[in-house]
Amino acid sequence: MLIRWLGSSERDAVERIWTDLESELDPGALANSWDWTGTWLRHYGDVVSHDFAVADADGAPCGIALVTRGVGRRRGPFRVRTVHLGTAGEPAGEGVFVEYNRLLVRDSWRDAFATALVKELHRDANWHEFTLDGFAPEEAEAMLRAEPQLSPRTELCPVTELDRVEPEAGVIGLLSSGTRRKVRRSFEALGEVTTEWSETPEHALDMLAELIELHQARWTGSGEPGAFASPRFVAFHRDLIAKLLPRNAAFLFRVRSGDRTVGCLYHLVDRGRPLFYQSGLASFEDRRIAPGFVAFSLCMQACYERGFHEYDFLAGDSRYKRDLATGERRLVWATATRPALRWRAMDLMAALRTRLRHG
């Protein structure tokens, strides 16, 4: 196997290779799709340095990976130069937090690609840490074998197993008695509710605008910036929804009580499984009303009725996720760190090269 590098200026060539491999290997995956990666590059490629590693075997591409270099990473007072696989390394407060990350490579070449990629990365003396971000465990295994210095950390993703739903009971029948009481009490206090599933990009973007308004109001009211504080982050998701919704790889869901919105939920779809990405929930003075439980229970019921088999809350140990979930998946983050003494030597070498280059 040979690894060749294509730079950020060669994106047209990269897109051709990427989309050819994607259509052959994994058309249902999200994080290594060109829709996701190309949209990320349009919005973050100007601030996150990146290249593309292309693996060639038998005279043709058999794998490709986006390699990025983190922006503004620090450990205490020290700057840390990081290198990542996939759409990661964004400036603080603007990250998309990729999950179910994967390499786009033929299965028969996966281990060889991982080994060759690690060797290539070690030729670069200008990074301190090599990081895997949000990899599916089966996808991380090849990289962990190739780089024994990677120290993995696993995070749980609560999921609701929609295959277990009894039609007469609905999704609510899967939940604990305490959670069922919260949901039913909320419905009693709200009265009649209506739901919407985004049918067009325009409809979805209307829901997204209201989701952002509700989300930001709740978080800024608590003294936090909120996930949508960054215009770049908002623009990325607006473009992403417009790209993904026509191929049923994203959707939004809205719940209303009368003229008032109870909540909006934003989802991505990976290999036929909804991934809950973000929410905007209204605040109610009536303490009987739990808008999140109402929105999620109705959305999961709609997902069940549309034939989805599982609802994934993504990583994070929030209480509401545990209350609404019936099982779990796992994701892997891992970091390989070069020795601190070597960092200092590399920094001195880099500074010397810069001085020599500029006379």
Compute the mean pLDDT over every residue in the chain, rounded to the nearest whole number. Answer: 94
Pairing of strands 82-85, 129-135: parallel
Enumerate residues 6+ apart whose C-beta is below 8 A from 309: 161, 162, 163, 272, 273
**109 touches 58 (CB < 8 A):** no
pLDDT at 268: 98
Helix (H, G, I), strand (E, B) or coil at 330: strand
Q: Diameter of the chain by CA atoms?
A: 78
For 34, counting Cβ atoms within 10 Å of its Cβ (0-12 exposed, 13-18 middle, 19+ buried), the class is buried
Enumerate residues 6+ apart whose C-beta is below 8 A from 274: 251, 267, 268, 303, 308, 310, 311, 312
pLDDT at 311: 98
pLDDT at 319: 92
pLDDT at 344: 64
Question: Measured between alpha carbons, how far is 262 from 278 in angstroms, rounded to an integer?
Answer: 15
pLDDT tens across 23-77, in order? 999 889 999 999 999 999 999 999 999 999 999 998 899 999 999 999 998 877 7
Q: Where are the alpha helices (DSSP H) in 191-339?
A: 201-221, 231-244, 291-305, 319-324
**Residue 235 one-letter amino acid:** A
Residues of the chain short of pLDDT 50, as ranges, are none
Q: 158-325 has which fold?
A: Aminopeptidase (3.40.630)
Name the residue ranges covered by the structural domains of the chain.
2-148+331-357, 158-325
What angle, 0 to 180 degrees and rounded to 10, lies between the N-to-C axes of helices 231-244 and 34-44? 150
Question: Measured between alpha carbons, how far is 242 from 210 in angstroms, rounded to an integer?
Answer: 16
Q: H-helix or E-strand containing 36? A: helix 34-44
User: Domain spanning 2-148+331-357: which superfamily?
Assistant: Gcn5-related N-acetyltransferase (GNAT) (3.40.630.30)
What phi and psi values does residue 139 have, to the nearest 5 degrees?
A: -85, -25
> Are domains 2-148+331-357 and 158-325 of this chain identical in fold?
yes
User: Whats the size of the chain, residue-wise?
Assistant: 359
